[in-house]
Amino acid sequence: MSGIRRLAAGVVCAGFEGTSVSAELKAFLRDVPLAGLVLFGGNVQTLPQVRALTDELRAILSGPIVAIDQEGGRVARIRNGVQEIPSALAIAAACAGAENDEFARSAGEQIAFDLRRAGANVDFAPVADLALTRMNTVIGTRAFGDDPHRVARLAGEFASGLERGGIAATFKHFPGHGSTSVDSHLELPVVEADEATLRSRDLIPFAELLPSARAVMTAHIVARAFEAGRPATVSHRILTELLRGELHFKGVCFTDCLQMNAIAKGIGSERAAVEALIAGADCVLLSHDLDLAARTVDGIARAAENGELPLPRLEEAAARVSLLRSGLKPPLPLEASAPYPGIGERIGLGAVTVVRGEAKAAAGDVAVSFESATSEGAQGEHDRHAALSDYASVREIRAPLDPGEEERDRVLAEIGGHRPIVLTRRAHVYGGQKSAVDRILAAYPDALLASLREPFDAFEFPQARNVACTYGDDTPSIAGLAAVLFDGKPARGSFPLNGAAVARG
């Protein structure tokens, strides 16, 4: 392998198919010594299986990056055999004051412990975006809130926990994905806010956190105020002038996955890799196609050989990636003792927030849960829903996320005169769900409404007398809600959003 092609391979991380190292993958990695691999849900069955997989990868590559998205909440690639941690917004709700920020730090350290047992060494977390838009479900509860300074503080505490636990933290998505209503996995979002707004809002968490950070990840967005015609991932103005020059970031700049439609449908994944490196990125990510990864390495090498990608720029990127790799920590034993046993459950309980009325169940109440299998870019496939009936003796009525008229009629009939506990999931997005909830509240004004995802459903139904939020439908969050409703535990959560996004309409 030529020196330039080896440099090119050293600035690419890729995902792959399967739960073990195939002969084809082994041969590929020996021929194309990538900077590292990225684990996704399809690579994961059990914790011991993931550990065996990562042990094999380290036996093939020397000191590779083994990266994963393990944020907590709905974006967590490993769930079996690890502590489940609620969402960033749930952590923010549980951290009612600055004195309780240790929830964020402890969550990060517990995640780091579990990732090191799995053999990972880089976490693409925490999210430093702001929750600014009601329809922004791609970020939503993944953010620590909408106050930029508080988001910076909590994201910083979470990252310090990851780092203390031996995992490299990666702040994302620079320069800020929070004000978009388009999912960059599907299309290219455009941020229309002016520069003064972005500097006083979206950029603040990054400006406060990045000077001492080891890694950051780009956003596939167009921030018109900074560069009108190019996504941030391939913008020299954003990745070099702003990120390096103004914010003094010295670590590794990862691109978000270049196979996301925001890039793949426009510039194209292979071409974007070259343009991202020219712009100032250091490591390009490809999530699930090793043939594409090989072509991308070749394309980077050709661009360096013909002078389009200046060789010093490629050498600089490879050196930064190599420095990061040299400081990564080895795995922990599978049987090691957890630093914060039960932290997920404590956050799930601590996050439950009563917006108005009271959150108490009574004998004979029934739960109405709006739920369906979904497939979202950041989360992947989601068909496991924790149930209140797992924690209390309550009858549950299940309905689709966006029920039609017949389903709405069925739900009303099955409630049968009992007081309903209505578990909503994005009724502010799904018209059929909103209609169903309106009908339930008209028939049962004393119903309890619990908003299980983004908390905006709490403000979609002003007629609801009793409203609570959990900021997630993961197991600890539902267990916490059940403890409040059925066991009389106090709801101590503090609503973590203040801005215009909570306004109805």
Task: Please give the backbone phi and psi of residue 7, each rounded to the nearest 5 degrees, phi first.
Answer: -60, -45
Measured CA to CA, the distance from residue 343 to residue 448 in angstroms comes to 27
Angle between helices 311-326 and 269-279 (to 10 degrees): 90
Joined together, the tokens standing for residue 272 give 């974007």
Measured CA to CA, the distance from residue 114 to residue 50 in angstroms comes to 11
Joined together, the tokens standing for residue 302 give 């050709």
What's the half-sphere exposure (Cβ side, CA atoms, 13 Å) at 487? Answer: 13
Task: Please give the backbone phi and psi of residue 214, each rounded to the nearest 5 degrees, phi first.
Answer: -85, -25
Among 147, 256, 365, 474, the active-site one is: 256
Measured CA to CA, the distance from residue 348 to residue 87 in angstroms comes to 9
Nearest Cα neighbor of 481 from 461, 458, 451, 459 is 451
Q: Is the dihedral of CA 270, 272, 275, 280 positive or negative?
A: negative
Q: Can 418 be counted among the known catalytic residues?
A: no
Joined together, the tokens standing for residue 444 give 């049962």
Q: Is 344 helix (H, G, I), strand (E, B) or coil?
A: helix
Measured CA to CA, the distance from residue 322 to residue 317 in angstroms comes to 9
Joined together, the tokens standing for residue 107 give 């969550």
Measured CA to CA, the distance from residue 455 to residue 277 in angstroms comes to 38
Phi-psi region of 357 (alpha: psi -120 to 50; beta: other; left: phi over 0): left
Rounded to 5°, the CA angle 24-25-26 comes to 90
424, 457 in Cβ contact below 8 A?
A: yes
Among 185, 220, 418, 428, the active-site one is: 185
H or E stretch covering 190: strand 190-191
HEC profile of 381-414: EECCCCCHHHCCCCEEEEECCCCCHHHHHHHHHH
Supply the Cα-derived Rg of the chain in whole angstroms: 23
Beta-carbon count within 10 A of 28 CB: 19
Beta-carbon count within 10 A of 21 CB: 19
Q: Can 149 be counted among the known catalytic residues?
A: no
Q: Which residues are catalytic?
A: 185, 256
